[in-house]
Amino acid sequence: MSQNSYKTQSEKYEFISGQHGGYYRHNFIDHAYLYNLYFPPEAVFANFKEQIHDIVLNYPMAQNALAGLIGKLIDQSAERIVVGNGAAELIKIVSGHISGKLIVPVPSFNEYANAAPPGQAIEFPLDFPSFRLDVDKFAAEAIIVKADVAVVVTPNNPTSMLIPKPDLIRLAKKLEIYDCMLILDESFLDFAENPDQISLEQEIEKYPNVAIFKSMSKAYGICGLRIGYMLTANSKFAEAIRNGVHIWNINGFAEEFLRILPDYKQEFIESCKQVRSDRDSLYKKLCGIEGMTVFKPDANFIFCRLPDYVQSAPEITRKLFIEHNMYIKDCVGKTQPDSDRYLRIASRTEAENCKLVAALINIMDLKTGKA
């Protein structure tokens, strides 16, 4: 179905819910995808316009030089870094080619398990109903199944919850004895309070079995540029991933973005503060809905369980789109108990968040026959 062949809002919903992106072409409010609406600043786009001939006409740089640009940004040496065409490219290499057996807590970002060959990904259920990760139980299970790669997304997607740094350090040390690499996916960490203090990036040399993965699309608001990176002090692991990427895996626009990004450090910090402020306000509003269980968020989205008196998450999601042209994510595709009762809602601007909550209340009230 092409973008113009749907005739009703209901048909449009069926079309959109089967897509992975391209949403901006279809005129609806996207509370499903998770990105920073306040970055990059307009000056970045002006720079692209000035450089567009060179960017389009010339080959971009290859891996070593790109790793140097990321290294400058995060104050790390280039040999510890591999730059991917989005974190998804790096995940595919680890899950699909390097790992013999991978373990990941669920619910989580599905790509780690999806990219693994059949039978090679083990899903470890988070404690229910808190959705907290017990790192000691997780380490024990990783050791029992003889996993050579363990993955932890922090803050997690879809729960939006951070795993405390001391827990992650304890987990890394337990796994190191059994020669198990720990991948920490910190893609949403910039939206947490004091990200510099909770990231393991600056202490990476202390943990030779840790690799940090980061999708830059979310925090930097550049989903279309496709940039992600891996940082590790484990040279053997870095080399294995580096061998999996092809020579020109990053396009010229992404390269130019990395080149100028250090000039906008302060703007980036301010943008993340604004995201946190909007998110906290949305969290309070959602907590005000009677019967809604709302999990305190550390990322730029909110995980919640619908009140028992309303329809299922897929029904609410569909109704919200059809009646209010707003798109949120139900958690039916996630591995968790009662997945059809849970929603993941991306925070947008304060005004858009207010409209979303009002629309949610409106469609829930229709179900209960309230005034």
Q: What would the pLDDT profile of 42-100 be if each residue is shown by its tens digit?
A: 999 999 999 999 999 999 999 999 999 999 999 999 999 999 999 999 999 999 999 99
- pLDDT number for residue 365: 73
Judge if 195 and 312 occupy the same domain: no
Query: What would the mean pLDDT of 122-137 be, rounded to a whole number?
Result: 98
Q: Let me know if residue 52 belongs to a domain.
A: no
What's the rounded Cα separation, in Å, for the pair 118 and 316? 33
* pLDDT at residue 282 greater than cutoff 90: yes
Query: What would the mean pLDDT of 248-266 be, rounded to a whole number?
Result: 97
- pLDDT number for residue 370: 46
Query: What would the mean pLDDT of 172-179 be, rounded to a whole number?
Result: 98
Judge if 221 and 88 occupy the same domain: yes
- 3 state SS of 330: strand
Give one word for 226, left, alpha or beta, with left for phi > 0 and alpha for psi -120 to 50: left
* Helix or strand (DSSP H, E) at 29: strand 29-30
Range of the domain at 207: 58-263
Q: Let me know if residue 163 belongs to a domain.
A: yes
> Considering its fold, how many domains does the chain have in total?
2
pLDDT tens per residue across span 116-126? 999 999 999 99
Judge if 253 and 279 occupy the same domain: no
In the chain, the largest separation of any two C-alpha atoms, in whole Å, equals 64
Q: Let me know if residue 47 belongs to a domain.
A: no
Query: What would the mean pLDDT of 303-321 be, rounded to a whole number?
Result: 96
Backbone phi, psi, residue 77, to 5°: -75, 145
Judge if 177 and 77 occupy the same domain: yes
Judge if 13 and 101 occupy the same domain: no
Q: Let me know if residue 45 belongs to a domain.
A: no
Judge if 235 and 130 occupy the same domain: yes
Judge if 233 and 271 occupy the same domain: no
Tokens standing for 240? 């294995």
Handedness of CA 245, 248, 254, 260 (dihedral sign): positive
Lowest mean pLDDT, pick from 12-21, 138-147, 294-303 = 12-21
- pLDDT number for residue 5: 79
Helix%, strand%, coil% for the chain, nearest 5 = 45, 15, 40
* pLDDT at residue 369 greater than cutoff 80: no
Residue ending a domain, among 218, 239, 263, is 263
Query: What would the mean pLDDT of 224-232 be, rounded to a whole number?
Result: 97
Residue written as token pair 């990941």: 104
Judge if 153 and 131 occupy the same domain: yes
Q: Let me know if residue 171 belongs to a domain.
A: yes
Mean pLDDT for the chain overall = 95
This prediction's pTM:
0.95
* pLDDT at residue 258 greater than cutoff 80: yes
Judge if 346 and 322 occupy the same domain: yes
* pLDDT at residue 217 greater than cutoff 60: yes
Judge if 109 and 257 occupy the same domain: yes
pLDDT tens per residue across span 24-40? 999 999 999 999 999 99
* Helix or strand (DSSP H, E) at 169: helix 165-176
pLDDT tens per residue across span 332-346? 999 999 999 999 999
Which CATH number covers residue 301? Answer: 3.90.1150.10
Residue written as token pair 């591995």: 335
Amino acid code (one letter) for 151: V
Residue ending a domain, among 263, 290, 308, is 263
Q: Let me know if residue 356 belongs to a domain.
A: yes
* Helix or strand (DSSP H, E) at 84: strand 81-84
* pLDDT at residue 3 greater than cutoff 60: no
Q: Let me know if residue 89 belongs to a domain.
A: yes
